[in-house]
Structure 1
Amino acid sequence: MASYASQKYEGILTCDDDEENILRTPTSFLDRKDWGIARLTIEKLRTVRNNVLKGGAGLAAPQIGILLPIFIYTPNRTTEGLIDVINPSFEPLEKQTVDGYEACFSEPFRCTRLTRWKAIKCRYQDLTGQWQDVILKDFAAKVFQHEMDHFQGKLTVDHPSAKTETFAEEQAFKDYMNKVLQDDSKTYEAS
């Protein structure tokens, strides 16, 4: 997957152009009676990810201007096997954390080093409305936690432990992200 936050993408809100402050607004639980909007939101998330971004580990509804607790993600850096997540929550499974770099389509040309839980127990509804309970570790846990931040109105730069690198040139950012990807493959086990 070679899609990075190396530019401003059409249809993606960024911290620089979010006039309605959607990225900084927490979402609320989505009731089952409103499931039609969940289906439409997931369809739009998948379209933007596949046709505009052409990849990426995850994408949350607030990033496309929809203030709902919905995201899609891939647990293993592939373009297949996207998972639909609605009304998620998680808790850490252990006290172990891992430091790693993250980029966000809503924060172009930035890469932030953060501390995340290494293993988490997640609960969410799928598109059918069924509750799913899963344990995620390593990269999948990092992505899940990153996307959950969007439902709290939080960006990577808002974390107390955040150490952010900002780039002026697209190629410099891409080169840096390629190094991050290589480092991640050493840090996180294949899931």
Structure 2
Amino acid sequence: MSELVPIIQLGNPQLREKSALVENIQDEEIQRLIENLITTVAQANGVGIAAPQVAAKKRLFIVASRPNARYPNAPEMEPTAMINPKIIAHSTEVVKGWEGCLSVPGVRGLIPRYQAIEIEYTDRNGKLQQQELTDFVARIFQHEYDHLDGIVFVDRLESTLDMITEQEYQQRVVKNA
């Protein structure tokens, strides 16, 4: 049975720590963490969540793109647990896009990310997966991947002028999309 877990906020030192590799994917604690993260990201209207955001120092995150109040134009996909993920190749093209974070409520930033990435991760059943991600889903992956190394999206801002409030984002960006 999964449960909602508290999301730690910017300023909590645990958000800045590097995460450890997941050794035993079939461990009951890891499987429960995956379920809790899926429940929590859905409840919080997120499109991704990393284990460090719930104070679990594990190299594990969920990519769960779907349209919701925070991301009305997000593509639909099944929530996917990505364990010990790696970026093995990326495009030369970098695109700026708006990002928010469940650990940094009320703020959005225009963040540069690779437009396409080739990734590798182990799924929750222990199978090694490889795939190419592009556009918004590639952005989610890179955002969550940063969390595993203690990096928060605001660290990637090129200028504080690229930062706006959630309310301004909803009025200016979402309304005009």
Same fold by TM (over 0.5)? yes
Q: Structure 1 109/40 Cα, relative in aligned 2: closer, same or farther at 3 Å?
A: same
1:149 is displaced (CA, Å) by: 0.6
Which of 154, 163, 166 is 1:165 aligned to? 163
Q: Structure 1 110/33 Cα, relative in aligned 2: closer, same or farther at 3 Å?
A: closer
Name the SS of the counterpart of 1:91 in structure 2.
strand
Q: Choose between structure 1 and 2: higher strand proportion.
A: 2
Query: 5 Å matches for 1:97-112?
Result: 97-112=94-109
C-alpha separation in 1, matches of 2:49 and 2:170: 18
1:108 is displaced (CA, Å) by: 1.2
Match of 2:112 in 1: 115
Q: Does 1:29 align with 2:21?
A: yes
Match of 1:177 in 2: 170
Task: Work out whether residues 92 and 117 of structure 1, in 8 Å CA contact, stay in contact via their aligned partners in 2.
Answer: no
Query: 5 Å matches for 1:1-191?
Result: 11-16=6-11, 18=12, 21-32=13-24, 35-51=27-43, 53=44, 55-75=45-65, 77=74, 81-159=78-156, 161=158, 163=160, 164-167=162-165, 173-177=166-170, 179-181=172-174
Q: Choose between structure 1 and 2: higher helix proportion.
A: 1
1:178 is displaced (CA, Å) by: 5.6
Q: Deviations over 1:81-132 (max 9, x none)?
A: 1111111011343201101111001111111111100000010010001110
1:75 is displaced (CA, Å) by: 4.2
**% identical aligned pairs:** 28
Q: Structure 1 180/10 Cα, relative in aligned 2: closer, same or farther at 3 Å?
A: farther
Name the SS of the counterpart of 2:132 in structure 1.
strand
Task: Work out whether residues 41 and 47 of structure 2, in 8 Å CA contact, stay in contact via their aligned partners in 1.
Answer: no
Runs of 4+ in structure 1 displaced over 4 angstroms?
Answer: none
Runs of 5+ consecutive residues of structure 1 not aligned to the other structure: 1-8, 168-172, 186-191
Under a length normalisation based on structure 2, what TM-score does the superposition of the two structures give?
Answer: 0.82
Q: Deviations over 1:126-167 (max 9, x none)?
A: 000111001000011000000001001000111262545253
Whichever residue aligns with residue 100 of structure 2, its letter is A
Q: Structure 1 25/35 Cα, relative in aligned 2: closer, same or farther at 3 Å?
A: same
Under a length normalisation based on structure 1, what TM-score does the superposition of the two structures give?
Answer: 0.77
C-alpha separation in 2, matches of 1:33 and 1:10: 20
Runs of 5+ consecutive residues of structure 2 not aligned to the other structure: 67-73
